[in-house]
A and B are shown apart, each in its own frame.
Chain A
Amino acid sequence: MMHSVRDYAPALKRGELLGYHCQSCGREWLTSLNVCPFCSSSKIEDVSLPKKGKILAYTFQNVVPEQLQSKAPYVIAVIELTDKSRIQARIEDYMPSMGNIIGREVGILRGDESGLVFRLS
């Protein structure tokens, strides 16, 4: 049984990155889709995605949505996890003095109703 997109946030609170695994091509990903985005197979199952990866792109946001006003400013990054799946997350311990952080390794810190948070490792 595959999880629903509604199960994603509760899983995050348990510290689990609930994703999908394709039984046909072996690829993994996070986004709720009913077929494999890589090979179109519908033989997919739930998987806990790895909790480490590296930064592919990032932005330091000064202007943020209302519900996250108290956390501003913060970094949002596209992260490639060790299984090649990709996610977006906030990076909590970034300082502008660090310069370019593309390629830096990161690990999951927590997930809650305000989304997914990683830290530089």
Chain B
Amino acid sequence: MKKVYVIGTGMTKFGKLEKTGRELAIEAANDAILESGINVRDIEATYVSNAFGIGEEQLHMGPIINGSLGIPEIPSLSIESACSGGSAAFNQAYIALSGGYYDAALVVGYEKLSMNRTPENTKYFAMASDYWYEGMNGVTFPGLYALMASAHMNRYGTTEEMLGSVSIKNHMNGSYNSKAHLQKAIDMDTYLKSPVVASPLKLYDACPFSDGAAAIVLVNEDFNIDRPEKIEVLASARAGSMATLQDREELTGIPGARIATEKALKVSGLELKDITFVEVHDCFTIAEIMALEDIGFFPRGEGGRASLDGLTQFDGKLPVNSSGGLKAKGHPISATGIAQIVEIHDQMLYKVDSHRQVSDPHIGLTHNVGATGGSVSINIFKRSR
């Protein structure tokens, strides 16, 4: 397999934005190409992820992006994988480049949701569940994660304060991220008093509905680039779990995350202790705790305690979601998986605010989940000189 490198990134502000999905996607794509420094004509294919474009009555955005970049003749592929669409698109580009089919590719993820009312967005999100056996009974997306939180708290004694510590940390990191949706620190009292959405989960356990886009330019080793530091993709692994939550043996974790992690570690030849910082899929606070246990950074049932003890702060033993995570940075569905990679890249090049810069951004891992875990992506990156 050929080595693959991230050589340029672009990311719009995340939040409730005036711009259309089309404008956001093009802005991120253009910024990624400019940062990469390569000639746009060297891009051989574009991988575009979006989940709810139907809300803007616009699907098939790839040709529009390519046309606006002046490369309408190159192929594009549209990819949807619920909240993990961005990393699914990244994975497809990685496969094509590592196999040598293409030498340079553009990956774009974008979402535009803020023009919809909350009930519409709630309905769209529920469509990523198993409708007949979950959504029809009235469970919402927060409800599904609340069921997992309920099982986790019952089995392991995970507490509200443990969930709260995840939210507080991610809000603190997000307050130093100028592109984050929610740039506001919160305290435990604010967290505990926030309204319950689906018990045990409260408003401050949940990520916001965000608009936004992120893009990266990937090249393989055959593409001649000369720069002092490179961000190499050491592994890009995907796996799955039963779509229907109750059909999994365990409700307290996501099996696909464990499987994808095993694959990624095997391919990269790394052990977990080699990983120096991570971006994980914290659509709800419980999801970050389960992610850290699924990947294996902490034993089952101890992820909440680790968070409460500060081990996952940007200056802790294992920095988790230095970007603010989905919780504070925001969650423009299909942009999320790519935005996680943008954070890894920016941390490795010391381009982030010093209040959230991790001390050893040497080997980073991203964990991105589609729906309740039907799809999971794990990617590992290394800064090499």
Contacts and interface: CB of A to CB of B under 8 A. Distances in A.
Interface of A: 5, 8-9, 29-32, 37, 56-66, 68, 71, 74, 76-79, 86-90, 100, 102, 114-116
Contact of A31 (B119, B136, B140, B247): B247
A5 B352 CA distance: 50
B138 A57 contact: no
Contact of A74 (B138, B146, B151): B138
Interface stretch (B178-186, B193-201, B226-234): B193-201
A40 to B, nearest CB: 13
B136 A57 contact: no
Contact of A76 (B122, B123, B137, B247): B137
**Interface range on chain B: under 10, 10 to 19, 20 to 34, or 35 or more?**
35 or more
A61 B132 contact: no
Contacts of B140: 61, 63-65
A57 B246 CA distance: 10
Contact of A57 (B122, B123, B151): B151
B119 A37 contact: no
B151 to A, nearest CB: 4
Given A8-B132, A76-B143, A78-B246, A62 B138 contact: no
B255 to A, nearest CB: 12
Contacts of B130: 31
B150 interface: yes
Contact of A78 (B195, B196, B251): B251
Nearest to B206: A63
Contacts of A62: 195-198
A7 B179 CA distance: 48
Given A60-B199, A66-B119, A66-B123, 19 more contacts: A5-B132, A9-B132, A31-B132, A37-B242, A37-B247, A56-B251, A57-B151, A59-B149, A60-B198, A61-B139, A62-B198, A63-B198, A65-B138, A74-B138, A76-B147, A78-B246, A87-B246, A89-B137, A114-B138
